[in-house]
Structure formats: structure tokens, C-alpha cells
Amino acid sequence: GTPPPEETRAASGSGAGFIRRLMGDEVLTRVQGLLPVAADVGLSPAQLAVAWVLQNDNVASAIIGASRPEQVHENVKASGVTLDPEVLTRIDAVLGDVVVTDPDIV
């Protein structure tokens, strides 16, 4: 419910509208629900997200929007992670319909 910090990409620039759409209460609540999943598999939330994207058959490559070197290092740690099917099922259950999983839907 609070506006994004002024110095972030969500506050201004060409992608601000897109980012704001993803920062709604429903999406943010679902993302908070992923914190225990990440903790259970020993990953940070960012690492869980990158690992999940890399395991999606509909994704050819992951574009990570790191703006600081430590974010790059954090994201790279997820590159060799394989999430068990049970973990993927948990992620899908938490996210529900806030994620488009059909590649034909744009």
C-alpha cells in the first residue's frame, strides 16, 4: 500500500507502470507465502525465483535484472539448483492464478 522508494525502477522510468502492476497486494501477499518454501529448501527468495524460472519448460533463458554486484552473485547461486517436483507444486499452490503458466496467453 505504500509507494515505491523514489530511487527505484518501480518509481519512475519506462518500466514503472509494469512494475507497479506486479506490486499489488494480491501478488505481494502470494510472494510472502513463498518465504517458507525458500527457507525449507535453503534458498533466498531471489534464488528460489531464479531456480523456478530456469526449470520452466516455457523459458529459454532467464533475464535477471540485477542492479548491484551482490545481486548478480546471489542470482548465480541459483543456476545449478534443481527444485524437486514437490517444491514446484508448493510454489504453484502459493502463487495460484497470479502467474500465467500457459505460453499461449500473453
Overall pTM > 0.75:
yes
Residue 24 belongs to a domain: yes
Sorted by sequence, the CB contacts under 8 Å of residue 83 that are 6+ apart come out as 41, 48, 51, 52, 55, 91
Residue 94 belongs to a domain: yes
Specify the amino acid at residue 10.
A
Closest CA to 49 of 4, 19, 87: 87
Q: How many domains does the chain have?
A: 1
Residue 10 belongs to a domain: no
Which residues form the domain of 35?
A: 16-98
Query: Model confidence over 83-104: pLDDT tens digits?
Result: 999 999 999 999 998 877 666 7
Query: Model confidence over 40-95: pLDDT tens digits?
Result: 999 999 999 999 999 988 788 888 878 889 989 888 888 889 999 999 999 999 99
Residue 84 belongs to a domain: yes
- Phi-psi category of 42—alpha, beta or left, where left has phi over 0 and alpha has psi -120 to 50? left
Burial of 48 (0-12, 13-18, 19+ CB in 10 A): buried
Q: What is the pLDDT of residue 97?
A: 86
